[in-house]
Amino acid sequence: MVDITHKITTLREATAEAIVKTSSQATIDAIQNNEVPKGNVFEMAKAAGLLGVKKTPDLLPDCHPLPIEYTGIDYEIDGLDIIISTTVKTIYKTGVEVEAMHGASVVALTMYDMLKPIDKSVEIGTIRLKSKKGGKSSYKLNSEGLTADVVVCSDTISKGKGEDRAGEAIVEKLKVLGVASQKSIIPDDAGEIIKKVENTTADLLIFTGGTGVGPRDVTPQTLEPMLDIKLKGVEEQMRSYGQNRMPYAMFSRSIAGIKNGKLILALPGSTKGAAESMDAIFPHVLHAFKVIEGKRHD
């Protein structure tokens, strides 16, 4: 099963469609007049469809079990065709396209089973995904032309006594996003941090290290007074994401804010902490540049 532990939870929605084709108006009349021998077609098929949505991960091996928080099944009669629309919603890490399509399929199969005694030519037509939203494709952000400075704050690494992995992890994640970046290493020193902020020409300045509670962890208290705007929601998202994965994340003092139109972040110095903080807020945090330009939220 595909690993989705790095993903963030969002509202996901998908609508699927299936078509049941009858061969005569008599079949349609029997459905509408509740005269089908096996019972009320619409109600029976709807009940089956609800079960189909819930049972999707039991039948499809790579489908993740997830909380189904809404399922809506609607019908439309178009001539001799019955158009089935199934909408599924969840607040989770992965989408519900397969659940919606499976639900629509089960509705169609139930209708077929109930109608075949009175219509030997009934058949199931197209089953397709009509729409989906809430995943990565719903929050497309243009990172073209954006640049980043990645700054590793570490006494040990700056003295050549340790190897940087956190900074490299950040650089790799920026590369995937299409953001050009360069990396530098400085000691845990307030003066050096201030110089980086004052001299950067990049759109995005990311510090890693010095966000804990040790005697040399000075990154947050150095950066905070320099920010024009603090992005508290971004900070909360990083800590919440980390806390869901390991208890010590509560000690992180990660920082996010804006100065002179530039986005400034301070992430943990551990490789895992830095990588998880990136997963927590990217690519969505790049929306800040759209807002900085004065454009409205979508």
Tokens of residue 223, six digits: 């950066």
Tokens of residue 99, six digits: 């659940």
Give 65's DSSP letter.
Answer: P
- Tell me how crowded residue 124 is: count the other CB atoms within 10 A of its CB: 15
Say if residues 116 and 40 touch (Cβ distance below 8 Å): no
User: For the chain, how far is it from start to end, CA to CA, in angstroms?
Assistant: 33
Please work out, in degrees rounded to the nearest 5, the angle formed at the alpha carbon of residue 178 by the alpha carbons of 151 and 241.
65
* Nearest-angstrom CA–CA distance, 92 and 268: 26
Amino acid at 176: V
Orientation angle between helical segments 271-281 and 166-177, nearest 10 degrees:
30
Is 119 among the catalytic positions?
Answer: no
DSSP string, 180-246: EEEEEEE-S-HHHHHHHHHH--SSEEEEES--SSSTT--HHHHHGGG-SEE-HHHHHHHHHHHHTT-
Q: b/e per residue, 199-234, with b = 16+ CB within 10 A?
A: ebebbbbbbbbbbbeeeebbbbebbeeebeeebeeb
Please identify which of the residues 74, 81, 113, 203 carries the catalytic annotation: 113
The residues assigned a catalytic role are: 113
